[in-house]
Chain A
Amino acid sequence: MKIIVTVKQVPDTQEVKIDPKTGTLIREGVPSIINPEDKNAIEEALRIKERHDDVDVTVLSMGPPQAESALREALTMGADGAVLVSDRSFSGADTLATSYLLSRAIKKIGKYDLILCGRQAIDGDTGQVGPQLAEVLDLPQATYAEEISIRGNGVTVKSNFDSVTRVIEMKTPALITVTKRINRPRFKTMNGVLRAFRDKKVATWTKDDLKLNPMRIGINGSPTWVRKTFVPSHNRDGLVIEKKSGEMAEDIMNYLLEKTLFRL
């Protein structure tokens, strides 16, 4: 069985600050990490590998050359192979161009049974790439997975939505996006580091390695543009009421009712 896991390298948003003038992320000195839910997807693929015979886990990422370190980390966790698609012409891609490009890379990887993706990335928060990738590849999909079980060429996916649990059964090949509740990613081992660097390879593919429609990649292939990012300002001035205590209580009550913060 072959599992492909898509991975995005993101800035550690716990450490990230936003430049209040430009509204963009200050990336300098901010560590890059594997997008947390992508890490859950890698972990789930590795658990499937441990439960079943002959499972190969390949991780795939689109990104700048330094995204190799995210793939190397996935190899350290136990993935078997890694592919980085990286080219200047890919930059500026929105989720549509990204899922198109990933689909082309997956076509080149060849036969597969399962594609696992993190539900969404902590930097963009769109949650679109997984579902779009399934559409481009014309695959059945299940999102927000919290439990995955595989039997023969069928896969059962359980997801929880507030008070509802949804169970989907699909035939493979299929695509599943997972949430952070599905598992707790393992710790990397020392020998895992050794093997990731000594025995495993990260293949890097550029636009020349893939059959691409130039109008569907990078900025050309991206119908959505980010117009503006900004830091919402929190106004904490408060409301000052200076009256006699009886009238003041009434004013406060009216204010709360008016703002529907309180109901009689």
Chain B
Amino acid sequence: MTLCYEMDEKYKMIRLAVREFAESEIKPVAGELDEKEEFSVSLTQQMGDIGLFGMIVPEAYGGQGLDYISYIIAMEEVARVDGSQAATLAAGNSLGINPIDKFGSEVQRRKYLPDLCRGKTLMGFGLTEPNAGSDAGATNTTAVKDGDSWIIRGRKTLTTNADTPMTKGSIVQAVTGQRPNGRTDYTCFIVENGTPGFTLNTLKRKLMWRGSNTAELFLDNCRIPSDAILGNPGDGFKQMLETLDGGRLSIGAMGLGCAQGAYEAALRYSKERVQFGRPICKQQAIAFKLADMELKIELARNILYKACWLAENKRPFGKEAAMSKLYCSEIAREVADEAVQIHGGYGLFKDYDVERFYRDQRLLQIGEGTSEILRIVISRAIGC
């Protein structure tokens, strides 16, 4: 008998702790940071202070020593209040910290993890290129060995956290040769900001996650020492796939949290808003929308937590991670859309949080594997 739907008290405490922080510190400023399109260093450090970075990193490296489900619950709770801060955290943990913890050398782990886990620094993960999005195999960035170092040339884009005042550097994936079987060899490098030839440009005028940082990276013959290679040369593609599997769980959590936040706002509003002499939640057209929202959120939470459980217990979880990210992000769209509908005309204004949720959810069906790519992942897993 191992099937158990009761949450451990520890997870309830994680949820309570993050909810109190998010309601008190993030909620009051989320709208303003969104409107000004501003990344907040102080808020990011505050999130570091309560331990929202390095959640699954061992304590010996400055991490919080928690498990995957704790991490996912924390992301869900931040996203319930603000997608931008959740993005900073999800990218920081899943793409910046976890690859170094998982694949990095002892020296790299000692060098980078303590500050990253304390929220003193951030690390980007440069994968996407102008011509290599879903088709990661089309990567043009190259690294050529030159004595004891490597020369990297290329360009990355849409990299979260890469160009903030607290960014230490970015993990950059580059083509490092051809294998005898004709396959391309990829290698990941840790490229520190300030490296000659490495320049950054923050991308502005985003629709969503406007309080988070998104940048493009230019690598113009950057000389990188060999000990900046993450893991072994040639491991880059495998590392990227594993990183994305884990990253999908946190994007799933962001979808779930976004849906939860939008739903709660809609439910609250529907009890206050009176039309035709009754609160609109007492009218079936609206009540059914809310029932559907609750249903979708419940289902999304179930698949996401199951995938976390698989990951935590070292079982294969690629299919379930894809399903979680796909389902959570799609219901985030549906729920945010209906939440705006329930708010009527007011839902179109920034005075109501649902306006922001409606915009923020849109990335979730694109980032870290589009919905279409995820359907490919799932269909391959079932033998199509």
A150 within 8 A of B: no
Distance of A194 Cα from B50 Cα, bound (Å):
12
Given contacts A190-B74, A191-B64, whether A69 and B9 have CB atoms under 8 Å apart is: yes
Give A94 Cβ to nearest chain B Cβ, in Å: 30
B14 within 8 A of A: yes
Q: Is the interface of B mostly helix, strand, loop or mixed?
A: helix
Using a CB–CB cutoff of 8 Å, the interface residues on chain B facing chain A are: 9-10, 12-14, 16-17, 20-21, 24-25, 49-52, 55, 59, 64-66, 70, 74
Q: Which one of B13, B50, B66, B74 contacts A187 once the chains associate, using CB atoms below 8 Å?
A: B50
- Asked if A190 and B14 sit within 8 Å, CB to CB, the answer is yes
Nearest 4 CB-CB pairings of A with B: A190-B51, A188-B17, A190-B64, A189-B51
A72 within 8 A of B: yes
Q: Can you list 19 A-B contacts with CB-CB less than 8 angstroms, sorted by A residue number?
A: A69-B12, A187-B20, A187-B49, A188-B13, A188-B16, A188-B17, A188-B50, A189-B17, A189-B49, A190-B14, A190-B17, A190-B50, A190-B51, A190-B52, A190-B74, A193-B66, A194-B10, A196-B13, A197-B9
- Asked if B9 and A187 sit within 8 Å, CB to CB, the answer is no
Give A104 Cβ to nearest chain B Cβ, in Å: 27
* Cβ–Cβ < 8 Å partners of A69 in chain B: 9, 12-13
- Asked if A190 and B55 sit within 8 Å, CB to CB, the answer is yes
Q: Apart from A190-B51, A191-B65, what 12 extra A-B contacts exist at CB < 8 Å?
A: A72-B13, A73-B13, A187-B49, A188-B20, A189-B49, A190-B64, A190-B66, A190-B70, A192-B17, A193-B10, A194-B10, A197-B13
Residue among B13, B24, B52, B66 with the highest chain A CB neighbour number at 10 A: B13
Q: How many residues of A contact B (CB 8 A)?
A: 14
Distance of A36 Cα from B55 Cα, bound (Å):
28
- Asked if B9 and A191 sit within 8 Å, CB to CB, the answer is no
Residue among A73, A76, A189, A194 with the highest chain B CB neighbour number at 10 A: A194
Distance of A197 Cα from B10 Cα, bound (Å):
7
- Asked if B9 and A73 sit within 8 Å, CB to CB, the answer is no
Of all chain A residues, the one with the shortest Cβ separation from B13 is A193
Of all chain A residues, the one with the shortest Cβ separation from B54 is A190
* Cβ–Cβ < 8 Å partners of B10 in chain A: 193-194, 197
Of all chain B residues, the one with the shortest Cβ separation from A76 is B13
- Asked if A187 and B64 sit within 8 Å, CB to CB, the answer is no
* Cβ–Cβ < 8 Å partners of A189 in chain B: 17, 49-51, 64
Of all chain B residues, the one with the shortest Cβ separation from A69 is B9
Distance of A189 Cα from B62 Cα, bound (Å):
13
* Cβ–Cβ < 8 Å partners of A188 in chain B: 13, 16-17, 20-21, 50
Give B62 Cβ to nearest chain A Cβ, in Å: 10
Distance of A148 Cα from B105 Cα, bound (Å):
49
Of all chain A residues, the one with the shortest Cβ separation from B51 is A190
Of all chain A residues, the one with the shortest Cβ separation from B8 is A197
* Cβ–Cβ < 8 Å partners of A76 in chain B: 13, 17
Distance of A137 Cα from B14 Cα, bound (Å):
37
Q: Which one of B9, B24, B49, B65 contacts A194 once the chains associate, using CB atoms below 8 Å?
A: B65
Give A7 Cβ to nearest chain B Cβ, in Å: 15
Distance of A242 Cα from B376 Cα, bound (Å):
78
Distance of A193 Cα from B17 Cα, bound (Å):
8
Distance of A211 Cα from B349 Cα, bound (Å):
64
Distance of A50 Cα from B9 Cα, bound (Å):
27
Give A260 Cβ to nearest chain B Cβ, in Å: 37
* Cβ–Cβ < 8 Å partners of B50 in chain A: 187-190
A171-211 CB contact bits vs B (8 Å, 1 = yes)? 00000000000000001111111101100000000000000
* Cβ–Cβ < 8 Å partners of B9 in chain A: 69, 72, 197
* Cβ–Cβ < 8 Å partners of B12 in chain A: 69
Q: Which one of A72, A187, A191 contacts B21 once the chains associate, using CB atoms below 8 Å?
A: A187
- Asked if B21 and A193 sit within 8 Å, CB to CB, the answer is no
- Asked if B16 and A73 sit within 8 Å, CB to CB, the answer is yes
Of all chain A residues, the one with the shortest Cβ separation from B17 is A188
Distance of A25 Cα from B21 Cα, bound (Å):
28
- Asked if B49 and A193 sit within 8 Å, CB to CB, the answer is no
Distance of A184 Cα from B163 Cα, bound (Å):
34
* Cβ–Cβ < 8 Å partners of B25 in chain A: 187
Given contacts A72-B9, A187-B50, whether A194 and B17 have CB atoms under 8 Å apart is: no
* Cβ–Cβ < 8 Å partners of A194 in chain B: 10, 64-66
Of all chain B residues, the one with the shortest Cβ separation from A196 is B13
Give A188 Cβ to nearest chain B Cβ, in Å: 4
Give B48 Cβ to nearest chain A Cβ, in Å: 10
- Asked if A191 and B13 sit within 8 Å, CB to CB, the answer is no
Distance of A180 Cα from B46 Cα, bound (Å):
23
Residue among A187, A193, A194, A196 with the highest chain B CB neighbour number at 10 A: A193
* Cβ–Cβ < 8 Å partners of B64 in chain A: 189-191, 194
* Cβ–Cβ < 8 Å partners of B20 in chain A: 187-188
Give B378 Cβ to nearest chain A Cβ, in Å: 32
